[in-house]
Amino acid sequence: MSCPKTPHILQEYLADDLTPLAKEEIDKHLLQCEHCASELEVLMLTQSQLANWQAERVPHWDRGMELFRREHRVGKQSSSWFSAWQWMPTAASFAMLCLLIFNTSVEVGDGGFSVSFGSPVSDMDAALAAFEQEQRTEIDSMIARFESRQDTNNLQLMQAVMSQTQQATVENLDQIYAYFEEQRRQDMQLMSQGYQQLADSDYATVQSLQELAQFVSFQGAR
Amino acid sequence: MSLIDEDEALIAAALNGSAFAWEKLVKRYESKIYNHGLRLMGNSSDAMDLMQEVFLGVYRNLHRFRGDARFSSWIFRIAHNKAVDLNRKKRLLAGYPVDSDNEGDVFDSFADEEGEEPELELLQSEQNRNIMAMLNILPFEQRLIVELKVFQSLTFEEIAEMQDISENTAKTRFYTALRKLKSVTEEYHVLS
Ligand SMILES: [Zn+2]
């Protein structure tokens, strides 16, 4: 027993844009026609048999990492350049500390260049106190600037995360994690800029301290 | 839907030179692409070739990914094109004519790819071996439609657009393919 409608019926049944009316008509035919019904059953069985596929493990491969690393070597170099900057503030702070602790004075005399430790003049204390005060206000204002910038950053971040999670139908930790990862990367860049600024300003501090020391020793020599 | 943003974050980081992000992106899709290749190409070495080609294509074109489509559809589109290319090359090398539309005649390509059974032994799952043996009786065009419809769950409209054929052709091809597979299924059920 066969049915001339079989190809049409089955092909329509498999279509994904079937109108409810057409669906109803097909269902009606399938109830009446044994041949089409059994043909359909086998087709569905075939489909479900295919769908039993279980993911095979991927054999080991390099994932294009070598190519990626080779072609991004330029990027890597710039990051090692950044790490050279990373210890600059530390070095500058250490130099500054030494200058403060030992009250270094640099003297240029007839015999050439000589460095001596300890306070050669009593004016030194007053000069240093004034200098320290000046530095403190400057650092305070710098910290305040940093803090306010950080606050707006955090606010923007929170707002972005909120709108992101509202858009998503399912709250996904993975997604938020990736977002924070990206933010963290941007923060790292910001930080590297910040470091550079700090390094610059520390460097300036060391220079002015040396100038101060020179000035004081010059005063002392007079 | 929920993975879209993470894909985009990984892409942005990879474009910025993060090897970690690139590897994470590859790890996320390699299994899907490899299994896609297994079913389409019928053996693991061609599947590996396909997978490497796909990720090379992704790597070379990553800066062109605009995010107006999902990354998963973008990468599968690349995979689709590479699979068609690879199949064409393979057939030319093997001396077969590149088969064009040969639907209608159920039996004209039964002996299409022979001598690939040893490759199937490499598969971990016996069920997968059966499925691959089934798919291997289909000509490439029909196998492609079955892959896109059953395994990628695309609509006929999407398939038609992807392959530059009419929606009706896509439907007919799918139906023809299923009927061909049906005969194997019936055999399989008689035997077991
Ligand atoms: Zn019927």
Whole-model pTM: value is: 0.59
Longest dimension (CA), chain A: 124
pLDDT for the residue B114: 46
B156 near A CB under 8 A: yes
- Strand pairing category for A112-116 and A105-109: antiparallel
Q: What is the CATH number of domain B1-94?
A: 1.10.1740.10
Which residues of chain B from 13 to 32 reach within 8 Å of chain A, CB to CB? 13-14, 16-19, 22-23, 26-27, 30-32
Answer yes or no: do B9 and A178 touch at CB < 8 A: yes
Q: Determine the Cα–Cα distance for residues B107 and B122; give it in Å rounded to an integer.
A: 28
Tell me what pLDDT residue A79 has.
46
**B57, exposed or middle or buried, with CB in 10 Å at 0-12, 13-18, 19+?**
middle
Cα-only R_g, chain B? 18
In chain B, which residue's Cα lies nearest the Cα of A11? Answer: B175
How many Å apart are CA A92 and CA A197, to the nearest integer? 12
ipTM over 0.90: no
Could you give the CA distance from residue A133 to residue A222 in angstroms, rounded to a whole number?
26
Q: Do B146 and A50 lie within an 8 Å CB cutoff?
A: yes
What tens-digit pLDDT sequence spans chain A (222 residues)?
689 999 999 999 998 888 999 999 999 999 999 999 999 999 999 999 999 999 999 999 999 999 999 988 754 444 444 455 555 656 666 666 666 666 555 555 555 555 555 555 566 677 778 878 888 887 777 777 767 777 777 667 666 656 665 655 445 656 656 666 777 777 777 777 766 676 666 666 666 666 766 766 766 665
CA of A47 to the centre of ligand 1 (A): 20
Distance B144 CA to ligand 1 centre (A): 28
The mean of the pLDDT values for chain B is: 84
What is residue A76's predicted lDDT score, i.e. its pLDDT?
47
Q: Which residues have CB under 8 Å from A178's CB, separation 6+? A: B5, B6, B9, B10
Residue in B with minimal Cα distance to A9: B175
B182 CB near a chain A CB, below 8 Å? yes
B 88-127: CB under 8 A from A: 123-125, 127
Distance A25 CA to ligand 1 centre (A): 12
pLDDT at B19: 93
Check residue B154 and give its pLDDT.
94
For residue A15, being part of any structural domain is answered with yes
pLDDT of residue B108: 38
Domain residue ranges of chain B, discontinuous segments joined by +: 1-94, 137-192
Question: Given an 8 Å threshold on Cβ–Cβ distance, is A55 in contact with B51?
Answer: no
Please indicate whether, in this complex, the C-beta atoms of B44 and A59 are within 8 angstroms of each other: yes
- Candidate from A61, A76, A174 with C-beta closest to B52: A61
Give the Cα separation of A216 and A168 in Å (integer). Answer: 66
Structure tokens at A149: 């910038």
User: How many C-beta neighbours within 10 Å does residue B3 have?
Assistant: 16
Alpha helices in B42-107 (DSSP H): 44-61, 71-94
Q: Does A68 map to a domain?
A: no
To probe the interface with A, which of B1, B3, B4, B6 has the most A CB atoms within 10 Å? B6
Classify residue A149: in a domain, yes or no: yes
The whole domain housing A14 covers: 6-45
Residue A72 in contact with partner chain B when CB distance is under 8 A: yes
Residue of A nearest to B128 (CA): A53
Q: How many domains does chain A have?
A: 2
Is B128 in Cβ contact with A65 (below 8 Å)? no
Q: For residues B54 and B82, is the Cβ–Cβ distance under 8 A?
A: yes
Closest-CA residue of chain B to A74: B17
Closest-CA residue of chain A to B125:
A54
As beta bridge partners, residue A105 has A116
What are the chain A neighbours of B146 within 8 Å (beta carbons)? 50
Look at residue B13 in the predicted model and tell me its pLDDT.
93
* Per-residue pLDDT reduced to its tens digit, B76-88: 999 999 999 999 9
pLDDT tens digits along B131-150? 999 999 999 999 999 999 99
Count the residues in chain A: 222
Where residue B166 falls (left for φ over 0; alpha for ψ -120 to 50; beta otherwise) is beta
Q: Is B192 on the interface with A (CB under 8 A)?
A: no
Number of C-beta neighbours around residue A105 at 10 A:
25
- Say if A139 falls within a structural domain: yes
Question: Rounded to 5 degrees, what are φ and ψ at A116?
Answer: -130, 150
Contact state of B55 with A64 under an 8 Å Cβ cutoff? yes
- Residue A104 in any domain: the answer is no
pLDDT digits (tens, 9 = 90+) for B108-133: 334 444 444 555 666 778 889 889 99
Residue B50 CB-half CA count within 13 A: 35
Whether A53 sits inside 8 A of B131 (CB atoms) is yes
Q: Is residue A144 part of a domain?
A: yes
A118 in a structural domain: no
Which pLDDT score is estimated for B102? 44
Contact B13, A183 (CB under 8 A): no
Q: In A, which residues are within 8 Å of B123 by CB distance?
A: 56
- Low-confidence stretches of chain B (pLDDT < 50) are 1, 100-116
Q: Domain B137-192 has what CATH class?
A: mainly alpha
What pLDDT is recorded for position A117?
Answer: 57
Which residues of chain B from 47 to 66 reach within 8 Å of chain A, CB to CB?
A: 48, 51-52, 55-56, 59
Q: Residue B9, Cα to own-chain centre: how many angstroms?
A: 26
